[in-house]
Amino acid sequence: MDKSQARQIVLDELNSMHKNSGGRLVILDDETIVKPYGWVFFYNSERYLETQNVLDGLCGNGPVVFEAATSMITRLGTALPVEDEIRVFEQRRAVSGS
C-alpha cells in the first residue's frame, strides 16, 4: 500500500460518511504526516478551501490515521492537540510513531 492508494481510500471513506453534508471533502496534502505505520491525513470541505470562509469549514474534523499494513482507518478526536491525539492512538495501538 502506498500513500496515494491510502489517500484515495481515506478520501472515499470520508466522502461516503459525509455525503449528506452537501459538499465534497478534500485531503489537505501539505498537512499529511508520514509515520512508520502509515499516514495521518487531515481534511476539510472543498468549499472552505475555495472561499477560506470559516462558515464553509468543518468543525470537529480530527485527523484520520491510515495503517498501511492492515488498511485500518481510525478517526482521531479533537479534544487534545493533534500531537497528543496521535500519541494516544499510538499507545493504544502499540505502534511506534518514530
- Report the distance separating Cα 86 and Cα 96, nearest Å: 11
Sorted by sequence, the CB contacts under 8 Å of residue 74 that are 6+ apart come out as 64, 65, 67, 89, 93
Write out the H or E segment, with its range, that includes residue 35.
Answer: strand 33-35
Domain carrying residue 19: 3-93
Count: domains in the chain: 1
Torsions phi, psi for 80 (to 5 deg) = -110, 165
The pLDDT of residue 20 is 65
DSSP 50: H
* Cβ neighbours for 18, distance < 8 A, ≥ 6 positions apart: 25
Residue 18 has pLDDT above 80, yes or no: no
Beta-bridge partner residues of 98: none
pLDDT digits (tens, 9 = 90+) for 29-58: 999 999 999 999 999 999 988 999 888 878
The pLDDT, as a whole number, for residue 21 is 63
Q: What is the pLDDT of residue 96?
A: 83
Residue with cell 459525509: 18
Tell whether 98 is covered by a domain: no
Q: Is residue 69 very low, low, confident or very high in pLDDT (cuts 50, 70, 90)?
A: very high
- Let me know: does 83 contact 22? Beta carbons within 8 Å: no
